[in-house]
C-alpha cells in the first residue's frame, strides 16, 4: 500500500487546526492514482447509478465549465469513461471529487459537483450557497478563512494550489454523507485497526475560459496502525501536546484520546 501521503500530514501540535495551509502544486501531480483506483472507480460508478441525486449535481448553467474541466482532465492524461455528461464521465474516471464554483457578487458559489466520497456533508444542502455557508459546520471558518479563501481564488490565474487536512474517524467508509452527533469511542485494543486516518488532498484551479473554479477533493485513508508505523513519535507528540479544542476538531475527544494513548503505550 502506497502511504507516502502520510508524510504530508501536519502533526505539529502547535499548528492551528483551522488554517488555509495552501502551497503551489509545483511538480506534484494534479490528480492522484494508487492501488485503490479500480475499486474506488467501481464504487463511484455504483453510487452515481444508484444514488444520483445524492452525489451528482449539474445544472445547465454549469455545463460549459464542466466541459472545460473535462478537457483539462483529458489533457492530464486520463482516459475518460463513457457517460451521459461531463461530470458523470469524470466521476467514473478519477478518484477525486469535483466541485465547481462560480464567482458572483456574493463571492464564490458552489454550483455543481460530483461528490461520491463526502466527509460528513450532503451536496444537496450546500448547492447554490457561498463558501462561508458551505463550510457552516466548520467552527470559525467564516471569520478566520472566508475572506482569505475568496482572495486566494480571485488571484489564482494559472496557478494550482494544494492543501491537505486530516481527521481520525471510527468509520472507514468512503461514502460518509452524515455527521453523527457523537462518534463511538474505539477501545485501546482496537485503535490500531478500527480507528481510521481520513485525509482530504484538496486543490483549487481556475477554469480560464468559463471563469469558474474547480475544487478537487481526493480522500486518502489508512488505519492508525499504518500511521504509527511511519510517524509514531509525531503522533504521540501531537496527542500529548495539542490543545484539547484542536484535538476535538480532529475527531479525538478526551475519551478517545485516552484510548489512543493506551494503544500507543501498548504498541511501542
Q: What is the pLDDT of residues 213-233, one digit of tens each?
A: 999 999 999 999 999 999 999
pLDDT at 250: 94
Q: Which of 219, 197, 266, 221 is nearest to 32 (CA)?
A: 219
Residue 18: pLDDT band with limits 50, 70, 90: low
Q: Is the pLDDT of residue 262 over 90?
A: yes
Cell numbers describing residue 164: 491537505
Q: What is the mean pLDDT of residues 91-120?
A: 97
108 near 130, Cβ under 8 Å? yes
84 near 49, Cβ under 8 Å? no
Residue 140: pLDDT band with limits 50, 70, 90: low
Q: Who has greater pLDDT, 132 or 210? A: 210
200 near 217, Cβ under 8 Å? yes
252 C-beta neighbours (distance < 10 Å), count:
23
91 near 82, Cβ under 8 Å? no
- Above pLDDT 70, what percent of the chain? 94
229 near 200, Cβ under 8 Å? no
Q: Is the pLDDT of residue 137 over 70?
A: no
Give the phi and the psi of residue 219 in degrees, each rounded to 5.
-80, 130
Q: What is the mean pLDDT of residues 16-28?
A: 84
Q: Is the pLDDT of residue 40 over 50?
A: yes
Q: What is the mean pLDDT of residues 114-127?
A: 96
Residue 149: pLDDT band with limits 50, 70, 90: confident
Please compute, for residue 105, the number of CA atoms within 13 A of its CA located in the half-sphere on the CB side. Answer: 0
- Above pLDDT 90, what percent of the chain? 86
Q: At what angle do helices 224-241 and 254-266 cross, to 10 degrees?
A: 120
pLDDT at 145: 63
- The predicted model scores a pTM of 0.94
Q: Is the pLDDT of residue 238 over 80?
A: yes
Q: What is the mean pLDDT of residues 55-61?
A: 98
Where do we find the cell 469513461? 81
**Counting Cβ atoms within 10 Å, is residue 105 exposed (0-12), middle (13-18) or buried (19+)?**
exposed
pLDDT at 141: 46
Residue 134: pLDDT band with limits 50, 70, 90: confident
31 C-beta neighbours (distance < 10 Å), count:
17
pLDDT at 268: 87
Distance CA 75, CA 54 (A): 28
pLDDT at 93: 99
What is the secondary structure of the chain as a DSSP string? ---GGGGGS---TTS-SS----EE-TTS-SS---TTHHHHHHHHHHHHHH-HHHHEE--GGGHHHHHHHHHHHHHTT--PPP-SSHHHHHHTT-SSEEEEEEEETTEEEEEEEE-SS-BS--GGGTTT-BHHHHTTTSTTHHHHTHHHHHHHHHT-TT-EEEEEEEEEES---S-B----SSPPPPPGGGHHHHSEEEEEEEEEEE-TTT--EEEEEEEEEEEHHHHHHHHHHHHHHHHHHS-HHHHHHTT--HHHHHHHHHHHHH--
Q: Flag the least confident range among 5-9, 80-84, 137-141, 240-244.
A: 137-141
Cell numbers describing residue 72: 483539462
Q: Is the pLDDT of residue 59 over 90?
A: yes
Q: What is the mean pLDDT of residues 32-53?
A: 98
Amino acid at each position: 500500500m502506497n502511504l507516502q501521503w502520510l508524510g504530508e500530514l501536519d502533526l505539529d501540535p502547535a499548528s492551528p487546526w483551522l488554517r488555509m495551509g495552501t502551497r503551489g502544486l509545483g511538480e506534484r501531480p494534479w490528480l492522484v492514482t494508487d492501488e485503490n483506483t479500480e475499486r474506488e472507480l467501481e464504487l463511484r460508478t455504483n453510487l452515481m447509478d444508484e444514488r444520483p441525486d445524492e452525489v451528482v449535481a449539474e445544472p445547465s448553467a454549469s455545463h460549459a465549465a464542466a466541459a472545460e474541466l473535462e478537457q483539462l482532465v483529458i489533457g492530464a492524461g486520463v482516459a475518460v469513461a463513457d457517460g451521459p455528461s461531463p461530470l458523470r464521465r469524470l466521476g467514473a474516471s478519477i478518484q477525486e471529487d469535483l466541485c465547481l464554483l462560480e464567482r458572483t457578487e456574493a463571492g464564490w458559489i458552489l454550483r455543481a459537483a460530483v461528490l461520491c466520497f463526502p466527509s460528513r456533508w450532503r451536496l444537496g444542502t450546500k448547492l447554490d450557497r457561498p463558501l462561508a455557508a458551505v463550510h457552516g459546520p466548520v467552527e470559525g471558518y467564516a471569520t478566520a478563512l472566508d475572506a482569505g479563501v475568496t482572495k486566494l481564488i480571485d488571484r489564482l490565474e494559472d496557478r494550482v494550489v494544494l492543501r491537505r487536512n486530516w481527521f481520525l474517524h471510527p468509520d472507514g467508509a468512503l461514502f460518509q454523507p452524515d455527521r453523527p452527533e457523537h462518534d463511538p469511542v474505539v477501545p485501546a485494543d482496537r485503535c490500531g485497526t478500527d480507528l481510521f486516518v481520513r485525509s482530504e488532498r484538496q486543490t483549487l484551479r481556475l477554469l480560464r475560459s468559463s471563469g469558474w473554479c474547480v475544487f478537487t477533493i481526493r480522500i486518502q485513508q489508512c488505519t492508525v496502525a499504518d500511521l504509527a508505523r511511519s510517524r509514531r513519535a509525531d503522533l504521540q507528540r501531537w496527542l500529548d501536546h495539542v490543545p484539547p479544542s484542536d484535538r476535538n476538531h480532529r475527531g479525538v475527544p478526551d475519551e478517545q484520546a485516552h484510548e489512543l494513548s493506551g494503544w500507543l503505550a501498548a504498541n511501542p
